[in-house]
């Protein structure tokens, strides 16, 4: 009888820690899943807040993505693709990608098409973002060139010149030099034309 009691207690001693360990594992797993679910929910909330209408929470939302760093890029890119026809979402999303600087290099190909947008604000935001991203925006230089050269819209013109300077690649620097040379030639032509038009003494 004593032996049976001993065996009974031994079995209990063996099973209790195992049961406790399994319960602890379950709790940790639930806790981990809850944390991941909460992070996913928070990410979606901040993506939803990336609208012009939600200007009060805008800077706080931008800082959330800045703190995510590299992890922010793909969610923002997918958000931009999904809302490409919604100007109120496009502008703040591209702006945020620009604020991430060279970390957003993978977003350049997705951002570039917005240089052709009929919405001037989108074009301006895109130009600025490409400049802030830097060297990875080199592929956008051919599209920035006509904007930087065209002086009919001096705001976009100035933004494109700044972007080319920030991109700072041989291509962008060559374009800047070419524009500078053209401007010098045009200035000389105007001066010459004025001299020829002036009445002779």
Q: What are 114-154's pLDDT values in tens digits?
A: 999 999 999 999 999 999 999 999 999 999 999 998 889 99
Report, as an integer, the average pLDDT of 3-13: 51
Report, as an integer, the average pLDDT of 149-161: 92
Q: Extract long-range pairs of 81-86: CB within 8 Å, 24+ residues apart.
A: 81/110
**pTM for the whole thing?**
0.75
Percent of the chain clearing pLDDT 90 (strictly above): 55
Give the span between the Cα atoms of 101 and 188, in whole angstroms.
39
The per-residue b/e assignment along 6-34, b for 16 or more CB within 10 angstroms, e otherwise, is eeeeeeeeeeeeeeeeeeeeeeeeeeeee
Residues near 181 by Cβ (< 8 Å), separated by ≥ 6?
none
DSSP codes of every residue in 52-66 = GGGGGGHHHHHHHHH
Give the span between the Cα atoms of 147 and 158, in whole angstroms.
9
Report, as an integer, the average pLDDT of 160-167: 96
């Amino acid at each position: 009888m004593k032996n049976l009691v001993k065996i009974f207690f031994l079995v209990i001693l063996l099973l209790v820690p195992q049961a406790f360990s399994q319960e602890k594992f379950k709790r940790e797993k639930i806790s981990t899943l809850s944390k991941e679910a909460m992070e996913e929910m928070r990410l979606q909330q901040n993506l939803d807040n990336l609208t012009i209408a939600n200007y009060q929470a805008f800077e706080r939302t931008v800082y959330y993505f800045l703190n995510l760093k590299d992890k922010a890029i793909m969610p923002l890119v997918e958000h931009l693709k999904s809302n490409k026809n919604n100007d109120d979402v496009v502008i703040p999303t591209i702006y945020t990608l620009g604020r991430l600087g060279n970390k957003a290099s993978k977003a350049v190909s997705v951002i570039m098409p917005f240089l052709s947008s009929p919405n001037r604000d989108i074009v301006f935001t895109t130009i600025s973002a490409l400049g802030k991203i830097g060297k990875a925006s080199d592929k956008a230089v051919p599209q920035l060139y006509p904007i930087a050269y065209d002086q009919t819209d001096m705001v976009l013109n100035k933004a494109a010149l700044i972007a080319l300077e920030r991109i700072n690649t041989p291509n962008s620097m060559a374009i800047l030099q070419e524009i500078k040379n053209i401007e010098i030639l045009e200035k000389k032509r105007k001066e010459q034309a004025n001299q020829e038009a002036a009445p002779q003494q």
